[in-house]
Structure 1
């Protein structure tokens, strides 16, 4: 599955970068629609949610397997992302 390839490459890039501040069971993602991307640390469990998987598919369509920030880059507004993650945290 292509999403697994995106994640595998993003996680390996993160291991090479400064990932000390990412707790076990979490991953860092970069969110934004332009050059001003914001870094978020999210639980890995979010990756199983269908809404979050839609965002991952968008990331694949826009960036393929190249993520210029060194971690997974998600091309959506920060407001949409924070709304989605706040809903997921309540589940």
Structure 2
């Protein structure tokens, strides 16, 4: 008769086992999600860095174009003034 009695720790172990297995699956799923999110974050970080570099290049290019435009406007104004002075004299 005593052989039919199961110790309490074995009963608890059998009841807890499915819960632990379920928790393990949840942890594995969370680890997988974390890995995917981390990969996405690293990709976005790389894209941001590339965008910053492109913006810096565009800023330098735009500054050069502004200088060229101002020099051209100055030359055009000087030629207009020279034409007027030549016509007057």
Report the TM range for the smaller structure's normalisation.
under 0.3
What's the TM-score, normalizing by structure 2? 0.20
Q: From the CA coordinates, give the structure whose radius of gyration is larger.
A: 2
The structure in which a higher percent of residues are strand is 1
The structure in which a higher percent of residues are helix is 2
Answer 1 or 2: higher relative contact order, Cα 8 Å, separation at least 6.
1
What's the TM-score, normalizing by structure 1? 0.19
